[in-house]
Amino acid sequence: MTTTGTHGTGPFIAAIDQGTTSSRCIVFDRDGRIVSVDQKEHEQIFPKPGWVEHDASEIWANVQQVVAGAVEKAGITAADVKAIGITNQRETTLMWDKTTGEPVHNAIVWQDTRTDALCKELGRNVGQDRFRRETGLPLASYFSGPKVRWLLDNVEGLRERAERGDILFGTMDSWVIWNLTGGTDGGVHVTDVTNASRTMLMSLRNLAWDERIAESMEIPVAVLPEIRSSAEVYGTAKSGALAGVPVASALGDQQAALFGQTCFSEGEAKSTYGTGTFMLMNTGNEPVNSYNGLLTTVGYRIGDQAPVYALEGSIAVTGSLVQWMRDQMGLIKSAAEIETLASSVEDNGGAYFVPAFSGLFAPYWRSDARGVIAGLTRYVTKAHIARAVLEATAWQTREITDAMTKDSGVELTALKVDGGMTSNNLLMQTLSDFLDAPVVRPMVAETTCLGAAYAAGLAVGFWPDTDALRANWRRAAEWTPRMDADTRDREYKSWLKAVERTMGWIEDEE
Ligand SMILES: Nc1ncnc2c1ncn2[C@@H]1O[C@H](COP(=O)(O)OP(=O)(O)O)[C@@H](O)[C@H]1O
Ligand SMILES: O=P(O)(O)OC[C@H](O)CO
Cα separation of 117 and 485, whole Å? 43
Q: What confidence tier does 413 reach under pLDDT thresholds 50, 70, 90?
A: confident
**Predicted pLDDT at 77:** 94
CB 120 within 8 A of CB 148: no
Q: Is the CB of 449 under 6 A from ligand 1?
A: no
Cα angle vertex 177, ends 85, 115, to 5°?
110
What is the rounded average pLDDT of the residues 500-508?
87
**Predicted pLDDT at 508:** 60
What's the gap between Cα 43 and its chain centre? 18
Query: Closest Cα partner for 455 from 142, 160, 199, 229?
Result: 229
Residue 489 neighbours by CB under 8 Å, 6+ apart: none
Query: Closest Cα partner for 419 from 430, 428, 411, 406?
Result: 428
The pLDDT tens digits for 183-234 are: 999 999 999 999 999 999 999 999 999 999 999 999 999 999 999 999 999 9
Helix 319-327 vs helix 382-408: angle between axes, to the nearest 10 degrees? 160
The pLDDT tens digits for 327-360 are: 999 999 999 999 999 999 999 999 999 999 888 9
Cα separation of 83 and 460, whole Å? 7
CB 357 within 8 A of CB 503: no
Biggest distance spanned by C-alpha atoms of the chain: 65
- Please tell me which residue, 131 or 392, carries the higher pLDDT value: 392
Given ligand 1 and candidates 1, 320, 322, 449, which is best to mutate, with the most ligand atoms within 8 Å of its CB?
322
The pLDDT tens digits for 14-72 are: 999 999 989 999 999 999 999 999 999 999 899 988 899 999 999 999 999 999 999 99
Which run of H or of E encompasses 37? strand 34-41
What is the rounded average pLDDT of the residues 78-97?
97
**Predicted pLDDT at 7:** 52
Query: Closest Cα partner for 385 from 424, 432, 350, 418?
Result: 350
Which residues lie across from 22 on neighbouring strands? 41
Amino acid at 506: I
Annotated binding site: 20-22, 24, 90-91, 142, 253-254, 275, 319, 323, 420, 424
Amino acid at 411: E
Distance from Cα 417 to the centre of ligand 1, integer Å: 13
pLDDT score of 1 more than 80? no
pLDDT score of 369 more than 60? yes
pLDDT over 90 for what percent of the chain? 83
Q: What one-character DSSP code corresponds to residue 109?
A: P
pLDDT score of 491 more than 90? yes
Given ligand 1 and candidates 21, 23, 54, 421, which is best to mutate, with the most ligand atoms within 8 Å of its CB?
421
What's the gap between Cα 86 and its chain centre? 13
Distance from Cα 89 to the centre of ligand 2, integer Å: 4
Q: Is the CB of 322 under 6 A from ligand 1?
A: yes
Q: What confidence tier does 182 reach under pLDDT thresholds 50, 70, 90?
A: very high
DSSP 383-424: HHHHHHHHHHHHHHHHHHHHHHHHHH-PPP--EEEESGGGG-
Of the listed ranges 84-88, 409-413, 505-509, the least confidently predicted one is 505-509
Distance from Cα 349 to the centre of ligand 2, integer Å: 32
The pLDDT tens digits for 106-120 are: 999 998 889 988 998
Q: Is the CB of 417 under 6 A from ligand 1?
A: no
Closest atom of ligand 2 relative to the 20 alpha carbon: 1
Residues with CB under 6 Å of ligand 2 are 19-20, 89-91, 110, 252-254, 274-276
The pLDDT tens digits for 430-479 are: 999 999 999 999 988 889 999 999 999 999 999 999 999 998 888 889 99
**Predicted pLDDT at 445:** 81
CB 442 within 8 A of CB 31: no
Q: Is the CB of 355 under 6 A from ligand 1?
A: no
Mean pLDDT of the chain: 93
Q: Note the ligand closest to the C-alpha atom of 340.
A: 1
Between the CA atoms of 15, 256, 220 and 159, what dihedral angle is there, to the nearest 10 degrees? -60
- How far, in Å, are 43, 154, 250, 296 from residue 232 at the CA level? 32, 36, 9, 23
Amino acid at 321: L
Distance from Cα 335 to the centre of ligand 1, integer Å: 7
Q: Which residue blocks in 7-113 are alpha helix, DSSP H?
A: 56-74
Query: Closest Cα partner for 316 from 270, 278, 366?
Result: 278
CB 199 within 8 A of CB 115: no
pLDDT score of 173 more than 50? yes
- Please tell me which residue, 370 or 179, carries the higher pLDDT value: 179
Q: What is the CA radius of gyration of the chain?
A: 22
CB 440 within 8 A of CB 477: yes
ipTM of the complex: 0.97
Amino acid at 14: A
CB 386 within 8 A of CB 373: no
Q: What one-character DSSP code corresponds to residue 141?
A: T
Q: Is the CB of 338 under 6 A from ligand 1?
A: yes
Q: Which residue blocks in 170-302 are alpha helix, DSSP H?
A: 172-180, 193-196, 211-216, 253-260
Other Cβ atoms within 10 Å of 448 Cβ, number: 30
Instruction: Flag whether the pTM goes above 0.90.
Output: yes
pLDDT score of 509 more than 60? no
Cα separation of 429 and 25, whole Å? 31
Q: What confidence tier does 4 reach under pLDDT thresholds 50, 70, 90?
A: very low
What's the gap between Cα 494 and its chain centre? 29
**Predicted pLDDT at 2:** 39
pLDDT score of 256 more than 80? yes
Given ligand 1 and candidates 26, 41, 275, which is best to mutate, with the most ligand atoms within 8 Å of its CB?
275
**Predicted pLDDT at 3:** 41
Closest atom of ligand 2 relative to the 91 alpha carbon: 10
DSSP 273-314: ESSSEEEEEEEETSPPPPSSSPEEEEEE-BTTSPPEEEEEEE
Cα angle vertex 420, ends 66, 107, to 5°?
55
Annotated binding site for ADP: 20, 24, 275, 319, 420, 424
pLDDT over 70 for what percent of the chain? 98
Q: Whose CA is nearest to atom 4 of ligand 1?
A: 421
